[in-house]
Amino acid sequence: MPFPATLGLAPDLDPQEPVEVRVNAEDRIVRCNPAWDRFARRNGAPELRCAEIHGLRLLESFSGKVTRRFMQALLDRVRRDGEALTLPYRCDSPRLRRFMRMEILPGPGNDLLLRHWLLRLETLPRSIRITSSPQRDRHTHLRCSLCGLIKQGENWVEPLALAAGLPPRQMVSLQVTYGICPTCEALVAVTPGG
């Protein structure tokens, strides 16, 4: 998702105020609300302030071709049906699990408003740093862009499940490529008329 990782443990999102970004008919970012800029600033990512990303294509902020195709299908569906779409996702940091909800709302002239709500936070028992890899190899894992789970064999597990056997205070570091797990894909049917 298009958010920076948090640097500390203090809540950096207000559950009463969503983080919003508006895109035009070409999916270019045309507006963000003040909560967007506060979140970027609190997370040490001034390059993600609205003034810096204005005019960029929204889908360029998503990692992985599968995730971009999935998100494009969701945007297309909202435009086609003229109905809002809501889905849960995770926006974790090295020390926090952030449980979020995204709403995609239709606007005038094929504009869309993406509204992100914080549902709850959980502190992780140990730090975990996840970095995106440009391609998958034997050292990378597949991570779901929505729920944050990592594919291990045939199962999808929490990233910390891969820390078994490591010393308790050692930071877990994982390289991942992004996709969508079958459970999350089933949450929203992206086929025409679905």
132-163 pLDDT per residue, tens: 887 777 788 999 999 999 999 899 999 988 88
- All structural domains of the chain, each given as residue ranges with its CATH number in brackets, are 19-187 (3.30.450.20)
Q: Percentage of residues in the chain with pLDDT exceeding 90?
A: 49
Rounded Cα distance between 102 and 85, Å, is 8
At 96 the pLDDT is 86
Burial code of 13-27, b = ≥16 C-beta within 10 A, e = fewer? beeeebbbbbbbeeb
Q: Name which residue leads in pLDDT, 39 or 4.
A: 39
At 115 the pLDDT is 96
In 65-117, alpha helices (H): 65-81
